[in-house]
């Protein structure tokens, strides 16, 4: 779910209404960082940690304090530098009412991290296979949008949240197929809103990536969960990462009063658990494999230890850079310097990039230091609170150790 949205459930009738809320400008990040620093400053070391071991200790203190203050039920973190060992830590329980401790295999609802890990990566893989042209338009792949405002929007603009999309209210039924049809019918009518959110201007929406997910399915001929499983998670060895975890999976809970492993995002939930904007579940160690592939310019390691080119360097560059240097910079997948980057970036340089998720998740990658950090929590089960302070301190700790 977008950080620019409010979920509105009215007697089960509507899924979501996109309501822009006030955000700070990217240039206000320093002031924002100072305010976030104060929240956990007194319980963390004031000086940079001397190595990864001390950084791990500080991160564990951060998780422990967040749990004891009832900011999160639990959480896991992974981080690494270069080709070094991945450091992992976790603390807390699967939910606020559970006594079961989190572990390395605990699945977290990634929320909008789905956009970059699954959907954007799928788009770039299909581009490399010669099946998608990033300069082509929505109507080139979804012809039913030909006579709508979204029809001429380039795929590249959707990837950067510059396609003029707006989020919409959709009737919800018990049938995922009906919900999908209703969503796209409404999107054709109301999903494009110039001049307020015209093509080329940054406006973060779920609708952009719901559309991209549909493009993946039309072009590949597969549901996006099947395509991502075969083309991304399998090759990268992300064996715990999946849409629609089974009942035997161990998941953190995001919706109080429900069983675990139910996706929090109302669009993905209404679609049966799979969408281009949300629905993916994963672990901190699995996401470390994805982050390391990005750091290694698209190279990964197979099960036998052999290196292979999973994604081209050009695709990684496109996902993580904004050559136009526009305000609220985003790559064709990753956030670089939008208002949402201030917290997870910590003190990493502005050339770093990543993404956040509404449930309390984030991934941040810095090519200059060759470091990354994955933070997974189910903070949303308690209620949206100061997750940005946790994100900021976690990013700061990993960015500063010697």
CA atoms within 13 A on the CB side of 176: 10
Domain covering 26-130+221-400: architecture:
3-Layer(aba) Sandwich (3.40)
* pLDDT at res. 321: 95
Helix (H, G, I), strand (E, B) or coil at 83: coil
Q: What is the token pair recorded at 56?
A: 């791990």
Average pLDDT, the chain: 89
* pLDDT at res. 23: 40
Taking the chain, what is the end-to-end CA distance rounded to the nearest angstrom?
Answer: 36
Rg (CA), the chain: 20
The pLDDT confidence band at residue 198, using thresholds 50, 70 and 90, is low
CA distances, 321 to each of 277, 312, 314, 334 (Å): 20, 14, 10, 8
* pLDDT digits 0-9 by tens, 262-272: 999 999 999 99
Beta strands in 151-279 (DSSP E): 242-243
Residue 41: how many other CB atoms lie within 10 Å: 11
Residue 375 has pLDDT above 60, yes or no: yes
* pLDDT digits 0-9 by tens, 142-169: 999 999 999 999 999 999 999 989 999 8
Beta bridge pairs of residue 165: 192
């Amino acid at each position: 779910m977008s950080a620019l949205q409010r979920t509105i459930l009215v007697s089960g009738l509507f899924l979501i209404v996109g309501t822009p809320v006030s955000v700070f400008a990217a240039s206000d990040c320093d002031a924002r960082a100072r305010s976030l620093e104060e929240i956990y400053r007194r319980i963390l070391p004031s000086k940079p940690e001397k190595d990864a071991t001390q950084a791990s200790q500080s991160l564990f203190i951060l998780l422990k304090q967040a749990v004891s203050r009832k900011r999160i039920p639990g959480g896991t973190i992974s981080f690494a530098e270069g080709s070094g060992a991945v450091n992992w830590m976790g603390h807390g329980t699967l939910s606020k009412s559970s006594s079961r401790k989190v572990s390395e295999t605990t699945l977290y609802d990634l929320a909008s991290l789905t956009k970059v890990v699954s959907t954007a990566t799928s788009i770039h893989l299909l581009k490399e296979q010669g099946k998608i042209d990033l300069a082509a338009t929505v109507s080139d792949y979804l012809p039913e949008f030909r006579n709508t405002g979204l029809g001429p929007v380039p795929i590249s603009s959707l990837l950067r949240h510059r396609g003029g999309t707006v989020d919409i209210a959709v009737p919800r039924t018990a049938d995922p197929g009906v919900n999908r049809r209703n969503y796209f019918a409404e999107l054709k009518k109301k999903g494009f809103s110039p001049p307020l959110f015209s093509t080329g201007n940054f406006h973060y929406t779920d609708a952009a990536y719901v559309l991209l997910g549909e493009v993946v399915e039309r072009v590949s001929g597969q549901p996006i969960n099947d395509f991502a499983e075969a083309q991304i998670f399998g090759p990268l060895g992300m064996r715990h990462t999946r849409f629609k975890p089974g009942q035997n999976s161990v998941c953190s809970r995001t919706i109080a009063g429900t069983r675990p492993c139910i996706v929090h995002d109302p669009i993905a939930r209404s679609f049966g658990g799979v969408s281009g904007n949300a629905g993916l579940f994963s672990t901190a160690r699995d996401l470390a494999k994805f982050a390391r592939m990005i750091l290694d310019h698209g190279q990964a390691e197979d099960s036998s230890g052999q290196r292979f080119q999973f994604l081209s360097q050009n695709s990684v560059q496109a996902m993580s850079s904004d050559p136009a240097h526009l305000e609220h910079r985003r790559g064709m997948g990753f956030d670089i310097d939008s208002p949402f980057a201030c917290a997870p970036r910590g003190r990493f340089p502005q050339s770093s990039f990543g993404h956040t998720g509404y449930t309390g998740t984030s991934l941040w990658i810095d090519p200059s230091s060759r470091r990354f950090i994955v933070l997974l929590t189910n903070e949303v089960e308690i209620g949206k609170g100061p997750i940005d302070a946790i994100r900021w301190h976690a990013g700061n700790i990993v960015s500063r150790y010697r």
